[in-house]
Amino acid sequence: MLLKRLLLTQALLFSGLSSNLTAAELNLYASMPEKYATQVLAQFSKDTGIKVNYLRLSAGEVLTRLKAERKNPQVDAVLGGPADFLEAAKQDNLLSVYRPKNADKIPSQFLDPDGYWTGVGIMPLAFITNNKFLEKQKLKAPSSWLDLLKPEYKNGIILADARTSGTATERLFSLEMAFGDKGSIDYQKQLHKNVQMYTKSGAWPAMRVGEGLAAAAIVYLPDALDIKQLGYPVSISYPKEGVTVGIETVAVVKGAKNKKEAEAFMEWASSPKFAHFILKNKIQYAPTRTDVAADDPVLNLSNIKVLDIPLAWKGQHRGELTEKWINNVLQK
């Protein structure tokens, strides 16, 4: 009942929704940032007439809830990423198969081969650093993972917690690909010495850096761009060793009570209309559709060294890498 009240409360955020209790509706978990999810779901309601009740949670929290609710699902669909958490949900038999007809222009690397989830946006991991800190320390924006180990960053780095945040698990994947299994743990042990705190949310560290409460953070590009566009003195950079990318996804929950509406949402989110909407409204993901291109060069993935990693591997090793981080880094 608490969840339903929360969902209905957040539904009031949307303007123009019908008050007809018999109207079609969709219950949804969103791991997409709150301000993006609000815009996206309001537009979906406007375009389709389907009322949306949603609850915003981190990716890890969404996965935990889906597992706990498997016998009596409280939502019909999921919006957000990264895709590895939906890959984990797929392996736990928590999702239904649905391949949208509109996915015909989405490359296969952004689609689950079995049809359990569809990628609708791409977000690389990035460094965000406070410019005043850089000036004071006479440093350039970090261009290597190793730069964050410098003594100037001691107690100045803020990171998301891998137990709750998809941003954090993306960091673990990037380090695994850049340094290997042992090298990744060795690096994180050194990095831990410079960490100020670990946060539940993946987006919040970017604001801390913007406000000058932390020197640097590792976040998804959309979160970094949000802070920069708000006028905070920050620099956005990428490590030369490379990063992995997150994929914003949509999926139908197994046992959905409003399956028709969930499938309608899948069609809309994979359509050109959605891709153009996120670009027009500065929802900072690179669209997955090949027929919709981003004009902003910062969203051009050719400017970033992207580390290739199979999504199935992410789903299979997400928990394992998190446990290694907890046991070898966090608790040491």
HSE, side-chain direction, 13 A CA sphere, residue 306: 14
124-244+307-330: same fold as 2-122+246-301?
A: yes
- Please list the alpha-helical segments (H only) found in 138-258: 166-192, 204-210, 221-229
Q: Is the peptide bond before 287 cis (omega within 30 degrees of 0)?
A: no
pTM given for the model: 0.74
Q: CB neighbours (10 Å) of residue 298? A: 16
Superfamily of 124-244+307-330 according to CATH: Periplasmic binding protein-like II (3.40.190.10)
Q: CB neighbours (10 Å) of residue 67? A: 12
Query: CATH: 3.90.1150.10, 3.60.15.10, 3.40.190.10, 3.40.50.11540. Which one for 2-122+246-301?
Result: 3.40.190.10
Q: What is the pLDDT along the chain (332 residues), one digit of tens a residue?
A: 334 444 444 443 443 333 344 469 999 999 988 889 999 999 999 999 999 999 999 888 999 999 999 999 999 999 997 888 898 899 999 999 999 999 999 998 899 999 999 999 999 999 999 999 999 999 999 999 999 999 999 999 999 999 989 899 999 999 999 999 999 999 999 999 999 999 998 889 999 999 999 999 999 998 999 999 899 999 999 999 999 998 999 999 999 999 999 999 999 999 999 999 999 998 888 899 989 988 777 777 777 898 988 888 887 898 999 999 999 999 87
Structure tokens at 158: 């803020």
Domain ranges of the chain: 2-122+246-301, 124-244+307-330
Residues 184/111/222/26 CA torsion (nearest 10 deg) = -120
Q: Are 218 and 127 in contact (CB under 8 A)?
A: yes
Question: How many residues comprise the chain?
Answer: 332
Q: Shortest CA distance to 282 belongs to which of 35, 83, 13, 79?
A: 35
DSSP-derived letter for residue 258 is T
**Chain center to CA of 50:** 25
